[in-house]
Amino acid sequence: MNLKQLSQMLELSQTTVSRALNGYPEVNEETRRRVVDAAKRHGYRPNPSARRLATGKTGMIGYVLPTGAAVDIDPHFVEFLSGLGDYARAHELDLVLSPADAEEQETTYRRIVANKQVDAVYVSSPRPQDSRVALLDTLGLPFLVHGRSDGFDFDYPYLDIDNEGAFHEATRLMIQLGHRRIALINGDDRETFAIHRERGVRRALAGNGLALPDDQVSSTVMTEESGYRAARRVLEGSDAPTAILCSSLIMALGVVRAVRELGLTIPGDLSLVAHDDVFSWLKPENFSVPLSTTRSSIRAAGARVAERLIARLSGLEDGARGEVWPVDLVVRGSIAGAPARA
Amino acid sequence: MNLKQLSQMLELSQTTVSRALNGYPEVNEETRRRVVDAAKRHGYRPNPSARRLATGKTGMIGYVLPTGAAVDIDPHFVEFLSGLGDYARAHELDLVLSPADAEEQETTYRRIVANKQVDAVYVSSPRPQDSRVALLDTLGLPFLVHGRSDGFDFDYPYLDIDNEGAFHEATRLMIQLGHRRIALINGDDRETFAIHRERGVRRALAGNGLALPDDQVSSTVMTEESGYRAARRVLEGSDAPTAILCSSLIMALGVVRAVRELGLTIPGDLSLVAHDDVFSWLKPENFSVPLSTTRSSIRAAGARVAERLIARLSGLEDGARGEVWPVDLVVRGSIAGAPARA
DNA sequence: ACCAGCATTCAAAGCGCTTTGGCTTGGCGC
DNA sequence: GCGCCAAGCCAAAGCGCTTTGAATGCTGGT
């Protein structure tokens, strides 16, 4: 059933039927009712391809997926997606994943825009002065950043968590517990979140006359293995830390393994705090010693991103509002007062 | 630049230009060259929306994403996606994720078909007689199943790994090492892969006059926590197993935790084998005791699914070919001969 | 009685591509 | 010299929707 048939059936023009269905005001309410009613009865659904050609609107949001043999999609992505999908579902909003060479995403963004493939996109894992943000800004495609990209002289809409605040707070707690030598096992420091976390740590330390020596911070891809390596390195160093802050639960697994191998104990010899994005398949309370965490549901963020994106598309949100979520600090068994200096 | 402009520029009809570009035979080779050349020079790209309306082809493949507050997307999904995306990228093929209520996916599939939103879909985590497979078959939308759905009287195309063979082999090895009491910590046994794995274990045991008591198998969602719980349960039982087969690395983490808590050792008291889908962020060789695994890259499967889907769309593959990959059995330190009976 | 103005409705023109059905050629066989 | 056929091109008709510009019928003001 298409518009033509429906309009003939109602003995109305396609114009009127189309307008009635799309809520235009210049249609008699009585007529509108008839139309809406008939449409429902006959299960009429406007053909999206046709609508798309006519309007340029697709009813889809996009995401450029960085790929490549050496590129691993972050497992956080899937959790984010759960939230996004969960919200988008209610709006029959689909998500288009456009795979792109991780090193050359610009072409893909341009293609998406030129082809009008989506109404908006979201961007994740941004870096300072992220080229994607700049590009999207000039291309004029509506977008929302999950995270933040510092260093622009224009505003853009984003949703981020207070990474700096979270790590500042966690560090402050460590200091109050008497820790003086604190190490940071962070994510890739080309990304903003890692930079913010490090900044939070440094600020808290500086506020207490302490510093974060370069050899006490590691910034790498967030795998179990790199967590392990970083932990071994600092713990076997001459001035081993008594507390470690860690950017992910997965890395924390590696840290725990290193600690165990070295015959140390948590929290006796080492206090450990990690950031928890909230996975159902790995929970901090289930670590051999329950892990203290800075916690923020990345899934909730996904849902919120979908919500805001939809709001933008329907004109309910405009401007370039940045939204920053506070982060919980959840204390569990993995932290304790600093051990007496050996 | 659109077709009309391009054809005027070339002083040819739109028909001819269109045909030249799409490789139709009734065009003079000389003319075709001119056209192709001009198109490239002016960067002409056919408008996908228009083409889509005219042909019904979208150049996209779809995936119905089950969502819901209680639904967790499997972290395996992201790894699969890496492979899929990596392959699809070269073909400028996008992936459309249509979120659906996990309990009510049929509506979404129907919508996708009615709206001609994608050219094909893939289905994952199939169950026996999976309703999605039956539905797609009747709807006539090209599809490919990642995994298998047993119990149909018709054939359909799929790509699966030899789950039964893998677990059969692993079990056989355990038996040869003298193990007699073997437990299985499996995934949700409503899904085919879990059923096949259990079958593999039972077959190997039966082949040696052994059995798999019901209380030695657990079939749950694959989280660290459920791995832990299942392991505690069997290990604290009256007839504790000396070997455990586990369906995922993440569950294996929980198993290892349970073993440690109980003061047991691997492989001294317990041999452990787990299935490894190959993640970059958690590797079996990095377990405190390197984990023996049945290994199959889910990422490679993603790439292959993309490859086959593309082949089907371009008519290079037809029929309902099922493809089953063998699984590696990788022996590491976590297995040993069965301990002398206590 | 006449006209501006509003509320409704409509025919037709896109949107940019593919595809059907025909219309020229020029070369060939006879 | 004529008919036929294949090669090569084209005009125009979709695909199914939105939107422009215009027409119609009424109402109220003068």
What pLDDT, in 10s, does the model give residues A1-27?
899 999 999 999 999 999 999 999 989
pLDDT at B70: 84
Q: Which of B257, B286, B289 to mutate to test the interface with A (most CBs of A within 10 A)?
A: B286
The confidence band for B341, taking pLDDT boundaries of 50, 70 and 90, is: low
Question: What residues contact B226, with CB distance under 8 A and at least 6 apart?
Answer: B218, B220, B251, B254
Does A95 sit within 8 Å of B97, measured CB to CB? Answer: yes
What rounded mean pLDDT belongs to chain B?
A: 95
Q: How far apart are CA A33 and CA A16, in angstroms?
A: 12
Upper half-sphere CA count for residue B226 (Cβ side, 13 Å):
19
Q: How many CB atoms lie within 10 A of CB A236?
A: 10
Q: In chain B, positions 20-59, which contact chain A (CB-CB < 8 Å)?
A: 45, 47-50, 52-53, 56, 58
Which residue from A50, A72, A281 is facing B222, i.e. has the nearest CB?
A: A281
pLDDT at A155: 95
Query: Residue A46 CB closer than 7 angstroms to strand D?
Result: yes
Does B52 sit within 8 Å of A115, measured CB to CB? Answer: no
Q: Is the pLDDT of residue B138 over 90?
A: yes
Q: Which two tokens stand for residue A338?
A: 């600093």
Q: Is the pLDDT of residue A86 over 80?
A: yes
Task: Tell me how close the Cα of A134 comes to any Cα of chain B, in angstroms.
Answer: 23
Checking each nucleotide's C1' against the CA of B7, the nearest proves to be D10
Question: Based on C-alpha coordinates, what's the Rg of chain B?
Answer: 25
Q: How far apart are CA A132 and CA A137, in angstroms?
A: 8
Q: How far apart are CA A232 and CA A259, in angstroms?
A: 8
Q: Is the pLDDT of residue B193 over 90?
A: yes
Residues facing residue A62 across a β-bridge: A96, A121
Q: How many CB atoms lie within 10 A of CB A136?
A: 23
pLDDT at A40: 95
Residues with CB under 7 A from strand C: A 11-16, 19, 26-29, 31, 50, 53-54; B 2-4, 14-15, 18-19, 21-22, 44, 46-47, 49-51, 53-55
Q: Is the pLDDT of residue A52 over 60?
A: yes
Checking each nucleotide's C1' against the CA of B16, the nearest proves to be D9
Q: Under DSSP, is residue B63 helix (H, G, I), strand (E, B) or coil?
A: strand
What residue of A is the nearest CA neighbor of B257? A288
**pLDDT cut 90: percent of chain A above it:** 94
**pLDDT cut 90: percent of chain B above it:** 93
pLDDT at B71: 86
Q: Residue A53 — φ and ψ, nearest 5°? A: -65, -40
Which residue from B74, B97, B260 is facing A97, i.e. has the nearest CB?
A: B97
Q: Average pLDDT for residues B292-305, to the nearest whole number?
A: 97
Note the CA–C1' distance, B133 to C26, in angstroms. 56
Lowest mean pLDDT among A69-78, A185-194, A205-214: A69-78
Checking each nucleotide's C1' against the CA of B26, the nearest proves to be D8
In angstroms, the Cα distances linking B297 to B160, B277, B308 are 11, 5, 17
Lowest mean pLDDT among A73-77, A321-325, B210-214, B276-280: A73-77
Q: Which two tokens stand for residue B272?
A: 């452990």
Cβ neighbours of A94 in B, within 8 Å: 96-99, 117
Q: Average pLDDT for residues A303-328, to the nearest whole number?
A: 93
Task: Tell me how close the Cα of B280 comes to any Cα of chain A, in angstroms.
Answer: 7
Query: Residue B201 CB closer than 7 angstroms to strand D?
Result: no
The confidence band for A340, taking pLDDT boundaries of 50, 70 and 90, is: confident
Q: How far apart are CA B249 and CA A133, in angstroms?
A: 37
Say yes or no: A82 contacts chain B, CB-CB below 8 A. yes
Q: How far apart are CA B140 and CA A45, in angstroms?
A: 20
Say yes or no: A126 contacts chain B, CB-CB below 8 A. no
DSSP B12: S
The confidence band for B295, taking pLDDT boundaries of 50, 70 and 90, is: very high
Task: Tell me how close the Cα of A263 comes to any Cα of chain B, in angstroms.
Answer: 13
The confidence band for A28, taking pLDDT boundaries of 50, 70 and 90, is: very high
Residue contacts between A and B (CB atoms, under 8 Å) = 170
Q: Average pLDDT for residues B79-97, to the nearest whole number?
A: 94
Note the CA–C1' distance, B129 to D16, in angstroms. 37
What does the pLDDT look like over A203-260, one tens digit per residue?
Answer: 999 999 999 999 999 999 999 999 999 999 999 999 999 999 999 999 999 999 999 9
